[in-house]
């Protein structure tokens, strides 16, 4: 499960102090001293009981002029720092089952009871409210190919709550959690690691009852653009999809290119495409090609 980092520090810092300190040192969760230093700054920011309310009040009054930045990550999140570095800071809001937002949008909108891992490291601290609970698992990312329905090898660890002041390190491609709504509205603060390779690393959702990978929840915008471009037609888009399917360094992008091509073919053409893909040389693509051929046969 995520590492609990027990740092005793009563110092209070401003948001600017935290951002500037991280910007000066960078955020490298793979380096223990750097991780500890970032954790201390998150602890200090969490000790500041006023900054978030003041910032949100300024947003409501229209005084900050940062509306686009604040909403850039969705309605559940307030961005607290700019993107473009090796980190960003955010506040996450977690509604209880009694909240109107939960009743109107449902739990899926807030990723509740959606077992998933992360393709990035991040630090989190309980800031307000009782905090959400999670069922925590671990698995070996290197041991799976990423095929839907593949056995994940999940190991249940425990159920625990992000209590106020609890500070944790979520480890990329290791920690899996299924979050549960808090008893009352809660807020967590996060320092998120952002790296150039992140967009090429998969983030999975899981079926814990079957111990299987049930989907990929980190499609890149390039994959979406490619599907749309091929779907709209055009020889150039088709040529690019064929090139990506054969030569792209990312197995996931090669699969996306095959999906794009399959989307404009009839059943017979799709079956032929996936039959060829079974000999692609990638375990991910071969497994997904076989799965898709089975779906076609059963349709």
CATH class of the domain whose range is 3-106+120-132+161-173+181-202: mainly beta
This prediction's pTM: 0.88
- Name the phi and psi angles at 47, rounded to 5: -75, -15
Beta carbons of 6 and 26 less than 8 angstroms apart: no
* Domain ranges (residues) in the chain: 3-106+120-132+161-173+181-202, 221-298
Tell me the DSSP string of 92-131. Answer: EEE--TTSHHHHHH-GGGGTBT--B--SS-EEEEEEESS-
pLDDT in tens, the chain (299 residues): 899 999 999 999 999 999 999 999 999 999 999 999 999 999 999 999 999 999 888 877 875 544 444 444 456 888 999 988 999 999 999 999 999 888 888 888 888 999 999 999 999 999 999 999 999 999 999 999 999 999 999 999 999 999 999 999 999 999 999 999 999 999 999 999 997 677 678 899 999 999 999 999 876 667 888 888 898 888 899 999 999 999 998 898 999 999 999 999 999 999 999 999 999 889 999 999 999 999 999 87
Question: What ranges in the chain are assigned the alpha helix state H?
Answer: 15-25, 32-47, 51-61, 67-70, 100-105, 221-232, 235-247, 251-262, 267-277, 283-298
Residues 6+ apart with CB under 8 A from 67: 59
pLDDT digits (tens, 9 = 90+) for 223-244: 888 888 898 888 899 999 999 9
- DSSP assigned state of 210: T
Spatial distance between the Cα atoms of 146 and 50, rounded to a whole number of angstroms: 43
pLDDT digits (tens, 9 = 90+) for 71-105: 444 568 889 999 889 999 999 999 999 998 888 88
DSSP-based three-state secondary structure for 49: coil
Residues 6+ apart with CB under 8 A from 220: 199, 200, 253
Which residue is listed with tokens 């720092």?
81
Tell me the DSSP string of 213-231. Answer: EEEE----HHHHHHHHHHH
- DSSP assigned state of 171: P
């Amino acid at each position: 499960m995520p590492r609990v980092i027990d740092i005793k520090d009563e110092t209070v810092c401003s948001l600017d102090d935290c951002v500037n300190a991280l910007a000066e040192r960078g955020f490298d969760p793979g380096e223990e001293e750097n991780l500890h230093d970032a954790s201390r700054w998150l602890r200090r920011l969490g000790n500041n009981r006023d900054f978030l309310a003041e910032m949100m009040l300024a947003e409501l009054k229209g005084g900050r002029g940062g509306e686009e930045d604040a909403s850039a990550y969705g309605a559940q999140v307030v961005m607290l720092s700019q993107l473009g570095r090796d980190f960003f800071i955010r506040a996450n809001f977690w509604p209880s089952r009694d909240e109107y937002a939960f009743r109107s949008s449902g739990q899926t909108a807030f990723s509740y009871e959606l077992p998933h891992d992360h393709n990035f490291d991040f630090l989190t601290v309980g800031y307000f409210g009782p905090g959400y609970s999670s069922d925590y698992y671990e698995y070996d990312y290197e041991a799976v190919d990423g095929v839907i329905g593949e056995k994940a090898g999940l190991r249940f660890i425990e159920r625990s709550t992000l209590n106020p002041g609890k500070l944790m390190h979520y480890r990329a491609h290791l920690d899996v959690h299924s979050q549960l709504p808090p008893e009352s509205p809660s807020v967590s603060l996060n320092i998120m690691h952002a790296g150039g390779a992140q967009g090429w690393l998969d983030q999975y959702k899981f079926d814990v009852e079957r111990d299987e990978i049930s989907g990929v929840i980190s499609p890149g915008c390039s994959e979406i653009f490619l599907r749309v471009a091929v779907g709209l037609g055009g020889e150039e888009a088709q040529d690019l999809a064929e090139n990506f399917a054969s030569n792209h360094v990312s197995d996931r992008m090669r699969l996306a290119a095959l999906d794009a091509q399959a989307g404009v073919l009839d059943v017979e053409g799709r079956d032929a495409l996936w039959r060829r893909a079974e000999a692609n040389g990638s375990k991910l693509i071969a497994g997904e090609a076989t799965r898709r051929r089975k779906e076609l046969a059963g349709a």
